[in-house]
Amino acid sequence: MTTKNKLTVFNQISMDGFFTDANNDMSWAHKDPDDSEWNEFVAGNAEGGSVLLFGRITYEMMAGFWPTPAAAQMNPVVARNMNAMKKVVFSKTMKSASWNNTELINGHLESEIQKLKKEAEGDITILGSGTIVSQLAAAGLIDEYSIVVNPLILGSGRTMFESVDNNIDLELQSTRVFKNGSVFMSFLPA
């Protein structure tokens, strides 16, 4: 019997729904390094044992930070887990992926995701990667949307759902409000 692994999106957005600003920057989502409540939440998520899924841009950003001494000093638990976890990057332009435990896939996104959901050793979590999120949401392949809404208005930027042109009804599963003003929400497709 084949088990199906869950595909989850975990992203942070602004109050006006953007996951990057107009310059594709996501640094606004970084929290105070002394925010123990938030750091505990992030560290708990990083211990999930998921396969991490990225598009090229998010992969390059993550691979440029998490393997560094600065990341290990700033958040040693998350850095250790990010570096150890299996990672998959989808890209039609990359020739290789050098970050530890990374598989590069340049095949058809939807069919490769269906295959990955059957064969992966654990659930799959997409971080960032708005173009991939948009395509997979439109195809009905995302099993859970975990979103952190930040108390900030960007005014412009990119949404995760730019190419979605149909309604996707969702059911709220859980919420958590943080002292820093961020609100975590988990949704399943209805």
Tokens, residue 106: 């340049």
- The fold of the 7-21+33-160+173-189 domain, in CATH, is Dihydrofolate Reductase, subunit A (3.40.430)
Distances (CA, A) of 177 to 26, 69, 155, 185: 21, 31, 23, 9
Cα 31-37-39 angle, rounded to 5 deg = 55
Total-model pTM: 0.90
User: Which pLDDT score is estimated for 46?
Assistant: 66
| Beta bridge partners of residue 90, listed in sequence order | 55, 105
User: Which pLDDT score is estimated for 153?
Assistant: 97
Residue 1 has pLDDT above 50, yes or no: no
Rounded to an integer, the average pLDDT of 10-29 is 92
User: Which pLDDT score is estimated for 107?
Assistant: 85
Q: Identify the weakest region by mean pLDDT among 1-5, 82-86, 92-96.
A: 1-5
Determine the Cα–Cα distance for residues 23 and 189; give it in Å rounded to an integer: 30
* Segment 31-41, tens digit of pLDDT: 887 888 988 88
Determine the Cα–Cα distance for residues 171 and 186; give it in Å rounded to an integer: 8
Rounded to an integer, the average pLDDT of 71-84 is 88
Domain spans in the chain, listed from the N-terminal domain onward: 7-21+33-160+173-189
